Amino acid sequence: MKIILKRFLLIFLGIGLALFAFEATAGFLLKRQKGPLHVPMAEGTLKEMYYDTQLGFFPRVGEGGEYGPHGCLSNEYDVGDRKGRQRILFIGDSVTHRHMIVDALRELYGDQDFEYWNAGVGGFNTEQILELYRRHNQEIEPDHVVFTFHNNDFQLTPVAVEENGEPVLYIPDHPPMQASHSIIGRSALYRLWLRFVTPDYERAPEEVKRDVAELQRLIQEQGAKFSVVLFPILAPYDTWALREQRSRRQALEILDALEIRYFDPLEALPEDLASCKLLRQEPDDTWHPSSEGGMLMAKFLHQGGLLDLKGE
């Protein structure tokens, strides 16, 4: 009996040591990452997002939150009276939502001739952007739609919301996934497991092209202008991951094939890493520009005549 008990104790001790080793390894793998879930995801709260069977998640439009009745961030404009100004609608993901480039363009172009409507949603890909425009954005009848085409528009990105005190991941094309808030804070191994079970895969270029083409058709059908800003990774190009370089090439091929007017601010970025880091909201965040980064890109777009379409 003592021998059997000793064997069980040795087995449990071995399992405990193995779990400790796995936990330490997971902690090492995740130590440079930020965020409570350590899963790449969009910003979101239950108040602003809901689960959509088709799209994974979708903003609550016209319910008193940050998104007004037309799927745009709340603003001071009167949808029924342009006051002689061109109505510019900015669409896209978190780069648009955080409005650094939009604010800088507004500073450069001023308010006399333009309205600046923002329909950016963190984590949205082209299918979700198209559907938000189809369901709501087109109601404002924009004169010009500016789409910030992001590198991660080829990916599916989950959003974390809180339900009954626990985080739930809303993921395009997947049912919601419950996560344990208490374990998230204590176990790196659990966070690593969450990362691997959370879908993070690329959409086919043909799907993205189909979305952009339909968006182009809807906008042109309304008689509005359509421009694309191909947002670059905020780092020297030779440091981009292969997937990032590939998605850039695919985006350029789509824009050329559809003959869409586009702007490529990559050429405005400095070539050294130290200077690029100054353009980021956070030192390790290559996706979101700081106010300085937004102004750098806005000046490039302004010089290129992004909004100079009144006579066309």
pLDDT > 80? residue 302: yes
Q: Which helix (H) or strand (E) holds 18?
A: helix 2-30
Q: How confident is the model at residue 220 (pLDDT cuts 50, 70, 90)?
A: very high
Dump pLDDT digits (tens) for 38-74.
Answer: 444 556 565 788 877 778 788 999 888 899 999 999 9
Averaged pLDDT for residues 273-299: 93
Of 13 and 270, the structure prediction assigns the larger pLDDT to 270
- According to the model, what pLDDT value does residue 28 have? 57
- How is 252-298 classified by DSSP, letter by letter? HHHHHHTT-EEE-GGGGS-SSHHHHHTTBSSTT-SSSB-HHHHHHHH
Q: What is the mean pLDDT of the chain?
A: 82
Of 65 and 139, the structure prediction assigns the larger pLDDT to 139
Other CB atoms within 10 A of residue 185 CB: 10
Other CB atoms within 10 A of residue 117 CB: 24
Dump pLDDT digits (tens) for 248-261.
Answer: 999 999 999 999 99
pLDDT > 70? residue 274: yes
- According to the model, what pLDDT value does residue 34 have? 42
The alpha carbon dihedral of 281, 284, 286, 292 has a sign of positive
- According to the model, what pLDDT value does residue 201 have? 56
pLDDT > 60? residue 193: no
SS3 71: coil
Dump pLDDT digits (tens) for 102-125.
Answer: 999 999 999 999 999 999 998 888
pLDDT > 90? residue 37: no
Averaged pLDDT for residues 226-246: 93
pLDDT > 80? residue 292: yes
Pick from 8-17, 19-28, 276-285: least confident: 19-28
- According to the model, what pLDDT value does residue 300 have? 97
pTM of the full structure = 0.79
Among residues 87, 216, 209, 65, which one has the least CA distance to residue 139?
A: 87
Q: What is the dihedral of CA 293, 295, 296, 302, to 10 degrees?
A: 150
Residue 57 β-bridge partners: 51
- According to the model, what pLDDT value does residue 77 have? 94
